[in-house]
Structure 1
């Protein structure tokens, strides 16, 4: 309990101009003699503590990846070796899919936000993040990881997706500790990670046994989505250029220039908006489902610039990827 008391902090502390990020904010203490009321409050504060790290990635990463698993499970007759799970089972497993994505993203964010370069970047791009905002220290974040990483391994094993979970941890280590996220291979690491998250989400949604085995077509579809991520994920870097240049990160927009990056995003979004419906042999409605948000993203990325507009384009891109995840369902419905 003493270790936990040194790990988790309140949200009230702030970093002033002369305050170090390693100085100690006011600590959350837990008096076990007061039992349930204080314990409940401590748990809520603990969850809020973790939420602060993942808030920016929840709607743009956790929700889309969870959507891939759940929507693909509805088309399990073409994406898995088993039969379609019942609506009851799918609804029961939906929170597990979301929790898997959030828990593993949490470990990524804890590792990512504690590095000196990330702190420097966050002061420019994301000043509300917990370390920069003074809610928690770097050392307390490190201590939290000593608990969350083993817990995630156990959780992934219990869900039957320990292989993807182990791969995600390796990719997290490469991206953060080996600074692969600052190299030109950054998007490659992210696209592989997406493949791990997406395939695991589908397996969790399908359930255990043969029903949870992804078919050959399902593997190909997961790989196509990873290629989509590899070629268009750079859209997220448009809004973060100031911080990326400060830390020397070799994103495509920094390395090749903003004009080349925006043009390639528009071209690849248009390309995949055609290829994915072709892969699933959908009708005109299938092309419309993907093409409409795809055209919107392509227009925005070439016409709207600036951090605020680029943030909106990034969110529009996330909605476009979710539209792609509807393609197997559109195929089954004959759209």
Structure 2
């Protein structure tokens, strides 16, 4: 009887420790991509649904996993190569906080990239992922993120990858129609011209490592007013291109105005973090607009 109790206790202890280890690992993965859940996952999912319609549960899960693998690949290597910056501006991240060592993070990166490439091959979009891996390599390890234009251009390529791949997964591997390609190209241009909204919140870290972003190179007032003008200009372009219902465009303009006001009223980095959150909500609202083009075609 004692042996049975001892065995039961051992099994329970092993199960508890295994569950705790898995939860710790899941939380570490979450911390790697936490800062881009609203900035990448939400806009890409919104665009995928808008372009191909609401996927079934299996397609949605597959698309979400594909997207998360690609986001994780970027974030892990970005944080491996940016430890000193993160110690200043994001000390809670897994590497500077000591949750995972740089060598373990590199091993995790190899596993994540391998899984992402295999999953893309299954969906017939391996070239997209290969180009993406090359881009994030030169962005992080090649040091191109130090230069504002290359940083924005490679970021735009990343958004193309996220939106394209997610839409393909949601659409059960069907080729994207020409209208969808135009929508993704527009998304890339939006990020190319306004993606530096994320850099205002990281000014101290960028300055410490010598990164030259528009948030540092331009006078603060000009950088913020020009960004605000671009948000409103893109809202107008999308209104004319997709012709959504009035209520929807009011939401888009409202979020653009709220984002602009937030950036203009308070120049502190804490406020810029909140402003960037509003920017991401605006980006999500923009990415939903192609849905109304699909609805018009469906009704017709």
TM range (shorter): 0.7 to 0.9
- Partner residue in 2 for 1:132: 96
Q: TM-score, normalised by structure 1?
A: 0.79
Q: 2:132 aligns with which of 168, 176, 192?
A: 168
- Higher mean C-alpha displacement, 303-312 vs 278-287: 278-287
Change (3 A) 1:51 1:286: closer
- Which one of the candidate residues 43, 46, 51 is aligned to 2:22? 43
Shift of 1:137: 1.5
Which residue does 1:254 correspond to in 2? 216
Between 123-132 and 157-166, the greater mean CA deviation after superposition = 157-166
Q: Which has the higher helix share?
A: 2
Of residues 74, 89, 93 in structure 2, which corresponds to 1:108? 74
Task: Report the equivalent of 2:170.
Answer: 205
Query: Higher relative CO (CA 8 A, sep ≥ 6), structure 1 or 2?
Result: 2
Q: Is 1:60 aligned with 2:39?
A: yes
Partner residue, 1:4: none
Cα distance in 2 for partners of 1:44, 1:300 equals 36
Distance across 2 between alignment mates of 1:140 and 1:284: 51
After superposition, give the CA deviation of every residue in 1:130-151 in whole Å (9 maximum; x if it has no partner): 1111112112212222322212
Alignment match, 1:23: none
Deviation at 1:41, TM superposition (A): 4.2
Check the 8 A contact 1:66/1:201 in 2, yes or no.
yes
Q: Alpha-carbon deviation of 1:293?
A: 0.8
Unaligned runs of 5+ in 2: 1-9
Displacement after TM superposition at 1:38 (Å): 4.9
Kindly indicate whether the alpha-carbon contact (under 8 Å) linking 1:277 and 1:286 is maintained by their aligned counterparts in 2: no
- For residues 31 and 264 of structure 2, the distance between their equivalents in structure 1, rounded to whole angstroms, comes to 32
Cα deviation per residue 1:223-282 (whole Å; 9 max; x = unaligned)?
011111111111111111011000111111112232222122101100011000101133
The runs of 4+ residues in structure 1 deviating greater than 6 Å are: none
> Alignment partner for residue 275 of structure 1, among 215, 232, 237?
237
* Partner residue of 1:220 out of 151, 176, 182: 182
Q: Deviations over 1:107-136 (max 9, x none)?
A: 111111112xx1111112101011111112
1:191 matches 2:156: yes
Q: Is the 8 A contact 2:69 2:115 kept in 1?
A: no
Q: Aligned residue for 1:120? A: 84
Shift of 1:291: 1.1
Aligned length: 285
Superimposed CA distance per residue, residues 38-57 of structure 1 (whole angstroms, 9 cap, x where no aligned partner): 54444333222322211222
Q: Say if 1:135 and 1:215 are closer, same or farther in 2 by CA, change over 3 A.
A: same
In 1, are the aligned partners of 2:156 and 2:191 still within 8 Å (CA)?
Answer: yes
Unaligned runs of 5+ in 1: 1-30, 75-86
Distance apart, 1:35 and its partner CA: 7.3
Q: CA 1:43/1:283 → structure 2, altered by over 3 Å: closer, same or farther?
A: closer
Native 8 Å contact 1:234 1:261 kept in 2 = no
Distance 1:287 1:55, change over 3 A: closer
TM-score (norm 2): 0.88
Other-structure match for 1:296: 258
Do residues 231 (structure 1) and 193 (structure 2) align? Answer: yes
